[in-house]
Chain A
Amino acid sequence: MNLRDALRIPSADVTEESVYRDRRRVLAMIGAVPALGLAGCSEAAPPASKATITPEQARAGFRTAEEQTREIDATTYNNFYEFGTAKDDPANAPKTLRTAPWTVAVGGQCAKPGKLSLEDLIKGLAPQERIYRMRCVEGWSMVIPWLGVPLGDVLKRFEPTSKAKYVAFTSLADPQQMPGVRARVLDWPYREGLRIDEAMHPLTLLATGMYGKALPQQNGAPLRLVVPWKYGFKGIKSIIAITFVERMPKTSWNMSQASEYGFFSNVNPAVDHPRWSQASERRIAGSASKLFAERVPTLPFNGYAAQVASLYAGMDLKKWF
Chain B
Amino acid sequence: MVLTTRTRRRAEPRIVVAKAAVHLAALTPLAILLWQMWGELKGVSHALGADPVAEIEHRLGLWALRFLMLTLAITPLRQLTGWNVLVRFRRMLGLYAFAYASLHFAAYLGLDLRGFWAQVFQDIVKRPYITVGFIAWLLLVPLAVTSTTGWIKRLGRNWARLHKLVYGIAVLAVLHFWWLVKSDLREPALYAGIAALLLGWRAWKALEARAGARAKARSVPSARA
Contacts and interface: CB of A to CB of B under 8 A. Distances in A.
**Which secondary structure dominates chain A's binding surface?**
loop
Contact of B184 (A77, A183, A257, A288): A183
B180 A275 contact: yes
A196 B41 CA distance: 46
A80 to B, nearest CB: 13
Contact of A291 (B41, B180, B184): B41
Nearest to B41: A291
Contact of B49 (A69, A76, A275): A76
Given A140-B51, A275-B127, A292-B111, A81 B184 contact: yes
Interface residues of B, number: 34
A275 B54 CA distance: 17
A286 to B, nearest CB: 11
Contact of A295 (B43, B113, B129, B186): B113
Contacts of B184: 81, 85, 183, 185
Contacts of B116: 279-280, 295
Contact of B129 (A43, A74, A275, A289): A275
B50 A77 contact: yes
B28 interface: no
Contacts of A292: 52-53, 111, 114
Interface string A291-314: 111010000000000000000000
A279 B180 CA distance: 17
Contact of A88 (B43, B49, B127): B49
Contact of B51 (A272, A275, A293): A293
A215 to B, nearest CB: 17
Interface of A: 40-41, 43-44, 69-70, 72-74, 76-77, 81, 85, 87-88, 138, 140, 183, 185-186, 256-257, 272, 275-277, 279-280, 282, 284, 287-289, 291-293, 295
Interface of B: 37, 40-44, 46, 48-54, 111-116, 119, 122-123, 126-130, 179-180, 182-184, 186
